[in-house]
Amino acid sequence: MKRFAQLFKLLDYTTKSTAIINALVEYFSSTEDKDKVWAIALFSQKRPKRIVTTALLKEWSADLSELPLWLFEESYQMVGDINETISLIVPKPTKKSDNSLSYWIDVILALKDKEKIVIKDTVLDAWTSQDQDERFLFNKLITGGFKVGISQKSIINALSKVSGIEQSKVTHRLMGKWDPTNITYEELVLMADPTEDLSKPYPFCLVNALDIDCDQLGSPSNWSAERKWDGIRGQLILRSGEYYLWSHGEELVNDKFPELEQLKNKIETDIVIDGEILPFREGKPLNFITLQTRIRRKNVTKKHLLDTPIIIVAFDLLEYGGEDIREKPLIERKILLQEVVKEIDSDRLLLSEEIPFETWEELANERERSREFYSEGIILKHLYSPYKAGLIKGDWRKWQIDPLTINAVMIYAQRGNGRNTKLYTEFTFAVKDGERLMPFTKASYGLKEEELKEINEWVKKNTLERFGPVRSVNPELVFELAFEGIAKSARHKSGVTLRLPRIKQWRKDKPKSEINSLEDLNVLLNEFG
């Protein structure tokens, strides 16, 4: 596992994308196939289930190193990661070995449902032959906590470079439902159509923001306009009597939305629909935040089904009668989609309605009404465009409504992650609550680099207190924050939570006395929540 540990370390250090791709290419072109499959799996969040808790590992490691528990705790305080702490404090390895990544994963998988004593023996034995980097990964893997901050795109890019297969194909092959324990590298990456895989989705077509005037899009008659919903992008696959639902994060989410299961026997022919999963009740969408609480849960309960009923709003058809129709113009796909939705005839599947418009001005007026429909704006699609994979500029455009805004004062600053660890980039903001200040949101994006530097200098000079990486600062700097939505929240002291908050601008012109108040937030909550 030394090679994988080395790769992991490199990915962990660097934020340069070329360095990441190079490291992956080097790894994939020189590692045994079984390890490649596991590496791809781990980078795609397909990690082994937890065999043992970190608490037990901690106990065993303290025993083994003959250290008192308080010293373990001190070490943990200093290191900040429990699995890393364990990997550092256990005695140095006594055996020399270099077992592969897949060897260790097989060891871990074989421990499923084994007695605690067997697991303990195996773990202690493993530690005697692993170096610290290997132990760290082994501990992460066996406690089910392996994570690495690397995009699927980098993996695909690297695999494409190594195999010579184009990226869109690799994307397609990696997207489906596959199990690293019973697939070879050949089958996963190299073979054109490895198995009959009914669940395999198409890569999503992504939407660009509209960054030009509508007039520049040409004649309105070439464009279709639909309302943009704030839900989860989903691909609904009904093939051979099976049902699959994919989220845009390339996750199979069938079990998160069991109510869509009923769609599977409603149509004879194989189809794939692209749409938006929305929380929806009594003819109107609910706040996105309610959906978030549901998808974060591991198990969906009856209560969730009642509290947050969902539907899917269909806006495109990618496959019909088992045939890939993505090359057909949108206008033709839409006609087929209409028929399909009609045939399925379920209140769980709605057709995304087109907004009729003759002129761009008319559409602009419709956009202004978006909030009435609980929508976030308008999606424009070229009527004669094929369905393309990824973020292709031109054919699909989102024309969002202006965000909600509020003026607030900065009260805390925190160092950022990744490349921003040297800078304070995460800020907490407060509004007035009578004489006091009420913190209500964090935001980290939206400042220009020079502003960020200036604010960092200011933070250093205006720190009141430090709590670890966080500093409380003099409440003086006023910012205008923008956000897409607002909802009630019992978890926040302010009673509200914002959707996609970011910094719109630094209001150097405004004194602290002119910030908004908690009442103002509540007004927004009543109107838009």
Residues 1-40, interacting with other proteins (CB under 8 A): 10, 12-14, 19
d(Cα 68, Cα 318) in Å, to the nearest integer?
61
Q: Which one of 31, 85, 122, 139 is in contact with other proteins (CB under 8 A)?
A: 85
Q: How far is 146 from 398, CA to CA, in rounded Å?
A: 36
Residue 78 lies near other proteins (rule: CB under 8 A): yes
Smallest distance, other proteins to C-beta of residue 79, A = 6
- Mode of pairing for the β-strands spanning 377-382 and 390-391: unpaired
Q: Which is nearer to other proteins, 65 or 346 (CB)?
A: 65
Per rule CB under 8 A, count of chain residues that contact other proteins: 27
- Which of 31, 287 has the CB closer to other proteins? 31
- Compute the distance between CA of residue 425 and CA of residue 134 in angstroms, rounded to an integer: 33
C-alpha to C-alpha distance for 348 and 311, rounded to whole angstroms: 5
Mask for 379-398, x = binds other proteins (CB under 8 A): --------------------
Nearest to 43 by CA among 23, 58, 61: 23
Amino acid type, 505: Q
What is the nearest approach in angstroms of other proteins to the Cβ of residue 436?
A: 35
Q: What does the buried/exposed string (b/e) look like for 173-190 if buried means 16 or more CB atoms within 10 Å of the residue's CB?
A: bbbbebebeebebeebbb
Q: Are 255 and 300 in contact (CB under 8 A)?
A: yes
Taken in order 388, 389, 394, 396, is the CA torsion positive or negative?
positive
Q: Which of 71, 118, 191, 464 binds other proteins (CB under 8 A)?
A: 71
Residue 74 as a binder of other proteins (CB under 8 A): the answer is yes
Judged by CB under 8 A, the residue of 49, 80, 219, 509 near other proteins is: 80
Q: In the set 25, 88, 109, 392, which binds other proteins (CB under 8 A)?
A: 88
Q: Is there binding between residue 426 and other proteins (CB under 8 A)?
A: no
**Residue among 79 and 217 whose Cβ is closer to other proteins:** 79
Buried b (16+ CB within 10 A) or exposed e, 433-443: beeebbbbbeb
CB under 8 A: which stretch of 72-80, 104-112, 460-468, 472-480 binds other proteins?
72-80
- Residues 270-291, buried b or exposed e (16+ Cβ, 10 A)? bbbbbbbbbbbeeeebbbbbbb
Question: How do beta strands 232-239 and 242-247 pair?
Answer: antiparallel
Buried/exposed code over 119-133 (b: 16+ C-beta within 10 A; e: otherwise)? bbebbeebbeebbeb
Give the ranges where 95-239 is alpha helix by DSSP (H): 101-109, 116-129, 132-142, 152-163, 167-175, 185
> Applying CB under 8 A, which of residues 45, 53, 421, 526 lies at the interface with other proteins?
421
DSSP state of 261: G
| 209 belongs to the binding site for other proteins (CB under 8 A) | no
Among 89, 105, 311, 349, the residue binding other proteins under the rule CB under 8 A is 89
Q: How far is the CB of 46 from other proteins (least distance, A)?
A: 23
Binding other proteins (rule: CB under 8 A), the pick from 33, 59, 81, 251 is 81
| CA distance linking residue 529 with residue 523, whole number of Å | 9
Residue 65 interacting with other proteins (CB under 8 A): yes
Does position 226 bind other proteins by CB under 8 A? Answer: no
Q: DSSP string spanning 13-43?
A: H---HHHHHHHHHHHHTTS-HHHHHHHHHHH
Q: Which of 129, 132, 208, 222 binds other proteins (CB under 8 A)?
A: 132
Min CB(336)–other proteins separation in Å: 51
- Minimum distance of other proteins from residue 87's CB (angstroms): 9
> Which range touches other proteins (CB under 8 A), out of 77-85, 395-403, 423-431, 471-479?
77-85
Cα–Cα dist 142/122, whole Å: 11
DSSP string over 218-242: --GGGEEEEEEP-SEEEEEEEETTE
> Binding residue for other proteins (CB under 8 A) from 112, 153, 419, 460?
419
Binding segment (CB under 8 A) for other proteins, from list 67-75, 289-297, 452-460, 491-499? 67-75
CB of 150 to other proteins, least distance (A): 14
Task: Kindly state whether residue 69 participates in binding other proteins, applying the rule CB under 8 A.
Answer: no
The rounded distance, in Å, linking the Cα atoms of 169 and 228 is 29
Stretch of 38-46, 61-69, 291-299, 406-414 lying at the interface with other proteins (CB under 8 A): 61-69
* Piece of the chain touching other proteins by CB under 8 A; list 131-139, 272-280, 431-439, 517-525: 131-139
Residue of 372, 368, 364, 452 lying closest to 416 (CA atoms): 452
User: Residues with Cβ < 8 Å from 4, sequence gap 6 or more?
Assistant: 27, 31, 35, 39, 101, 137
Site stretch for other proteins (CB under 8 A), options 73-81, 164-172, 176-184, 305-313: 73-81
Residues 136-175 that bind other proteins (CB under 8 A): 136
The binding site for other proteins (CB under 8 A) comprises 10, 12-14, 19, 65, 67-68, 70-71, 74-75, 78-81, 84-85, 88-89, 92, 131-132, 136, 419, 421-422
